[in-house]
């Protein structure tokens, strides 16, 4: 087991109120496994990834839970141990490369910074020629054309697809074991998205990385992963092997979500899901999907359903299967 | 002009002057829309699809070309010169309801504004009408007294749809109207759009990059790339036998959700390259820089319109 999250609670505190976002999240990632997390925007997907790297904003409080990475509890590590993991083992591709890259430094400065830090801590002080060669190597990895121009550019001078490739190159420089990808293609056109996904897929296989791919684009998760978790309003609703999840979803939320996705082969989409995400200041006490669920029962409202193991590769949290 | 055509666009051009040079956003586009149909205008960012829609709306006047609406109105005249009845008849639903709805107004005020401007209804009955419009898009009367921030994304977009319906238009431009929404709320909006179109006999111009949405609500599809239209076909045919290499590339790039969908994707073509700058578009066929089947002629001359059958048109040298 590479990563195991158990009973994780994360709140965002402000002066007036507390947003209770993650509500006992659990998750397992094996070595080399490709894991997807799906759910609507605002369901806590990004918060979960940020918690794994412990890069939550200052008001984000981890109130309970455990994140075991390679046998160690990430939540108890010292800053220097954590820095080592971020530097060499876990890399993250952020959603919006324009926001993640520094707008006032050239790509060269930002990339060299990462490479230099990494090499120096390995006890080797790189010359600028070595840094340049290493940059060319990793740019070649992500199939970035015209690397010399890219190095001399500021982020705004690159196209969206190229910025995302730069981001992936940077993330890979520090992802030795696990890659966290947070909606890696949301702002890209479909033809570019396809190129980027194939690129990530190839790199993950080549380097035998584990990946957690977070997305609300279900097709992407279907194509790229072995196992899927459904996250709704901070709760894991269902876990299953990818084909099983998309062919035979069990949780009402998953069923409605998948039925809502437009298909190419047929006309007609499901009726969608009424209502909206709950208010995190005062979330439902029981199942967090209860207010929107067409099959809601009395017990759903008061107590949170526990995990039910349907088969070896399928787990659901819903009273319908009790 | 035929009687069943509501909008006729011919050789439309719209250029923008920028610091880098002249951007040829729309560069010679011609098409017809028939009464009661949904025509999808599909393209990637920078293809000029939104500019086309906005020129029809009157946000910009075209540099060249003609737009004739309902056989009698000339839409190439500037917005200010359009008669009120024409403005009433063409409405638009924007991409992001978070920014297209005034955050400081109640839903009832948002929807009643066009009613007041166009005086389509007696003032005393105005809130009855608002309630009726809300019910029409599947929202209850209680929504009248809510602010946009109290609504979910899908509900907000439905309010925007109700606002567009308020002045009783016959033509609505849907400018990426569902792309900012989650699939769960997108489904509701799509179903509502289909329902009201049937009941009110509306005509839609659907501007989108999402071919899944196209499949579900449109009857005809046009593919736009760098300011030009390269393929035009009825939806069924479009998905069954896409002809232009760009269309094939687009379709093959979609991440699908099932085996059946996977079968529809064209084989033997892979997405490469990026859309070039619209300041210096490639000569000849503008797609030739990314086309795996490009021939010498493709980079020299514009491809001709090739009519495969009465309503499937492709502009590509391969089919010459």
Angstrom distance (rounded) from CA A263 to CA A219: 10
Residue A94: its pLDDT value, please? 87
Whole-number percent of chain B with pLDDT over 90: 76
Answer whether A294 touches B (CB < 8 Å). no
- pLDDT tens digit string along A30-44? 999 999 999 988 899
Residue pointed to by tokens 């590590």: A77
Q: Which residues of B251-270 are buried (b: 16+ CB within 10 A; e: fewer)?
A: bbbbbbbbeebeebbeeebe
Quickly name the fold that domain A3-89+175-321 has: Rossmann fold (3.40.50)
* Among A66-70, A104-108, B273-277, the least confident range: B273-277
Q: Is the domain defined by B84-218 classed in CATH 3.90.420.10?
A: no
Q: How far apart are the first and last CA of chain B?
A: 28
The two three-digit tokens of residue A197, written as one number: 């996904």
The candidate with the shortest Cα–Cα distance to A166, out of A107, A207, A214, A206, is: A107
B1-35+53-82+222-320 shares its CATH topology with B84-218: yes
- Look at residue B78 in the predicted model and tell me its pLDDT: 79
Write down the pTM of the prediction.
0.89
Q: Do B191 and A216 touch (CB under 8 A)?
A: no
Residues 6+ apart with CB under 8 A from A294: A252, A256
Q: What's the whole-number average pLDDT of chain B?
A: 92
Which residues are registered as beta bridge partners of B140? none
| Percent of residues in chain B assigned helix, strand, coil, to nearest 5 | 40, 25, 40
The half-sphere exposure of A229 on its side-chain side, counting CA atoms within 13 A, is 23
- Rounded Cα distance between B60 and B55, Å, is 5
B241 touches chain A (CB under 8 A): no
Q: Taking residues A176-186, report their average pLDDT.
A: 90
Query: Which value, to the nearest 10 degrees, does the dihedral of the CA atoms of residues A113, A119, A123, A129 take?
Result: -90
> Judging by DSSP bridges, how do beta strands B220-225 and B38-42 pair with one another?
parallel
Percent of the residues in chain B that have a pLDDT greater than 70, as a whole number:
99
Domain-wise residue ranges, chain B: 1-35+53-82+222-320, 84-218
Round to whole Å and give the CA distance between A247 and B8.
44
Using a CB–CB cutoff of 8 Å, tell me whether A98 touches chain B.
no
For residue B248, give the chain A residue with the closest CA. Answer: A191
Q: Is the pLDDT of residue A121 over 90?
A: no
Helices (H), chain A: 45-53, 79-88, 97-100, 107-121, 128-141, 147-151, 160-174, 190-206, 218-224, 242-247, 252-259, 298-302
Strand extents, DSSP E, chain B: 5-18, 21-34, 38-42, 64-69, 73-74, 90-93, 171-175, 203-208, 220-225, 228-234, 305-309, 312-315
A181-204 mean pLDDT: 89
Best B20, B239, B257, B265 member to test A by mutation, with max A CBs in 10 Å, is B257
DSSP 8-state assignment for residue B14: E
Say if CB B82 and CB B22 are below 8 A apart: no
Q: What does the angle CA B190 – CA B193 – CA B198 come to, to the nearest 5 degrees?
A: 130
Record: contact B212-A264, CB cut-off 8 A: yes
Facing residue for B215 by CB, picked from A217, A222, A267:
A267
pLDDT at B24 over 70: yes
Mean pLDDT of B298-313: 91
Sorted by sequence, the CB contacts under 8 Å of residue A247 that are 6+ apart come out as B258
A to B CB pairs, distance under 8 Å: 130
CB contacts, 8 Å: A191 with chain B = 44, 249-250, 253, 271
Q: Give pLDDT, residue B275.
A: 87
- Residue A199: alpha-carbon gap to chain centroid: 17
Q: Round to whole Å and give the CA distance between A199 and A176.
A: 17
* pLDDT in the model for residue B80: 84
Question: Is a pLDDT exceeding 70 seen at residue A280?
Answer: yes
Is the Cβ pair A269, B255 closer than 8 Å?
A: no
Q: What is the pLDDT, as a whole number, of residue A275?
A: 82
Cα A51 to Cα A5, A18, A211: the distances in Å are 10, 17, 16
Fold of B1-35+53-82+222-320: Rossmann fold (3.40.50)
Q: What is the pLDDT of residues B206-255, one digit of tens each?
A: 999 999 999 999 999 999 999 999 999 999 999 999 999 999 999 999 99
Contacts with B122 (C-beta within 8 Å, 6 or more apart), sequence order: none
pLDDT given for residue A100 in this prediction: 86
**From the candidates B19, B137, B181, B183, which should be mutated to test the interface with A, based on the most A CB atoms within 10 A?**
B183
Note whether A273 contacts B: Cβ–Cβ < 8 A: yes
pLDDT at residue number A143: 82
What's the whole-number average pLDDT of chain A?
A: 91
- Residue range B248-289, pLDDT digits in tens: 999 999 998 888 888 889 988 899 988 888 888 999 999 999
Can you say whether the dihedral through the CA atoms of B271, B272, B277, B281 is positive or negative?
Answer: negative
Backbone φ, ψ for residue A243 (5° rounding): -60, -45
Residue ranges per structural domain of chain A? 3-89+175-321
How many angstroms separate the CA atoms of A218 and A240, rounded?
14
**Interface contact flag, B274 A40, Cβ < 8 Å:** no
Rounded to the nearest 10 degrees, how much is the dihedral formed by the CA atoms of A154, A159, A164, A169?
A: -60
Q: To the nearest 10°, report the CA torsion of B48, B51, B55, B57.
A: 130
Q: Which residue has the higher pLDDT, B81 or B92?
A: B92
- Each residue of A200-244: pLDDT tens digit? 999 899 989 999 999 888 999 999 999 999 999 999 999 999 999
ipTM: 0.87
A160-174 vs A79-88: helix crossing angle, rounded to 10: 120
Give the pLDDT of residue B295: 93
Q: Does B140 touch chain A (CB under 8 A)?
A: no
CB neighbours of A83 closer than 8 A, spacing ≥ 6? Answer: none
What pLDDT shows up at residue B161?
96
The secondary element (H helix, E strand) that includes residue A63 is strand A60-69
Q: For B253, which of A161, A162, A190 is closest by C-beta distance? A: A190
Structure confidence at residue A269 (pLDDT): 84
Cβ atoms B30, B9 nearer than 8 A? yes
Q: Is the CB of B255 less than 8 angstroms away from the CB of A219?
A: yes
């Amino acid at each position: 087991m590479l990563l195991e999250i158990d009973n994780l609670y994360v709140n965002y505190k402000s002066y007036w109120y507390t947003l209770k976002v993650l509500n006992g999240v659990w998750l397992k990632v094996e070595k080399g496994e490709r894991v997807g997390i799906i759910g609507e925007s605002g369901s806590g997907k990004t918060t979960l990834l940020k918690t794994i790297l412990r890069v939550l904003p200052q008001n984000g409080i981890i109130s309970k839970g455990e994140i075991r990475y390679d046998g160690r509890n990430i939540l108890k590590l010292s800053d220097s141990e954590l820095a080592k993991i971020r530097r060499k083992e876990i890399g993250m591709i952020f959603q919006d490369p324009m926001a993640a890259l520094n707008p006032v430094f050239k790509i060269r400065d930002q990339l060299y910074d990462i490479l230099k830090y990494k090499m120096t801590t390995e006890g080797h002080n790189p010359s600028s020629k070595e840094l340049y060669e290493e940059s060319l190597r990793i740019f070649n990895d992500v199939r970035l054309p015209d690397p010399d121009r890219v190095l001399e550019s500021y982020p705004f001078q690159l196209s969206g697809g190229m910025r995302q490739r730069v981001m992936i190159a940077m993330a890979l420089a520090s992802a030795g074991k696990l890659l966290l990808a947070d909606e890696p293609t949301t702002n890209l056109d479909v033809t570019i998205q396809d190129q980027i996904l194939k690129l990530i897929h190839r790199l993950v296989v080549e380097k035998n990385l584990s990946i957690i791919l977070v997305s609300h684009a279900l097709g992407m998760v279907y194509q790229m992963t072995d196992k899927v978790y459904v996250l709704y309003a901070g709760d894991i609703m269902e876990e299953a092997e990818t084909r099983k999840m998309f062919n035979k979803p069990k949780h009402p939320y998953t069923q409605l979500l998948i039925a809502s996705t437009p298909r190419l082969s047929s006309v007609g989409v499901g009726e969608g899901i009424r209502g909206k995400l709950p208010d995190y200041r005062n979330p439902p006490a029981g199942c967090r999907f209860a207010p929107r669920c067409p099959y809601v029962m009395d017990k759903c409202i008061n107590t949170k359903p526990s995990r039910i193991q349907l088969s070896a590769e399928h787990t659901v949290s819903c009273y319908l299967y009790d | 002009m035929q009687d069943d055509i509501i909008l006729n666009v011919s050789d439309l051009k719209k250029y923008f002057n920028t610091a880098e040079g002249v951007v040829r956003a729309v560069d010679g586009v011609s098409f017809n829309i028939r009464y009661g149909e949904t025509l999808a205008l599909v393209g990637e960012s920078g293809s000029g699809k939104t500019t086309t829609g906005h020129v029809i709306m009157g946000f910009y006047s075209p540099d060249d070309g003609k737009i004739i609406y309902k056989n009698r109105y000339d839409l190439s005249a500037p917005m200010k010169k359009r008669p009120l009845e024409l403005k009433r008849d063409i409405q638009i639903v924007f991409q992001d309801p978070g920014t297209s709805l005034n955050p400081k107004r109640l839903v009832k005020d948002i929807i009643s504004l066009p009613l007041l401007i166009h005086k389509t209804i007696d003032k005393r009955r105005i809130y009855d009408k608002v309630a009726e419009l809300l019910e029409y898009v599947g929202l209850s009367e209680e929504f009248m007294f809510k602010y946009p921030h109290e609504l979910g994304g899908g509900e907000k977009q439905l309010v925007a749809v109700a606002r567009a319906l308020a002045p009783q238009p016959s033509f609505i431009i849907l400018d990426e109207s569902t792309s900012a929404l989650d699939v769960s709320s997108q489904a509701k909006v799509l179903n509502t759009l289909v329902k009201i179109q049937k009941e009110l006999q509306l005509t839609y111009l659907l501007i989108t990059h999402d071919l899944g949405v196209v499949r579900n609500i449109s009857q005809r599809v046009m593919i736009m790339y760098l300011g030009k239209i390269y393929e035009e076909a009825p939806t069924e045919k479009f998905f069954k036998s896409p002809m232009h290499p760009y269309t094939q590339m687009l379709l093959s790039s979609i991440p699908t959700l099932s085996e059946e969908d996977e079968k529809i994707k064209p084989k033997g073509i892979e997405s490469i390259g990026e859309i070039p700058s619209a300041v210096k578009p490639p000569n000849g066929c503008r797609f030739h820089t990314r086309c795996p089947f490009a021939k010498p002629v493709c980079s020299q001359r514009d491809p001709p319109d090739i009519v495969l059958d009465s309503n499937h048109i492709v502009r590509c040298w391969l089919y010459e």
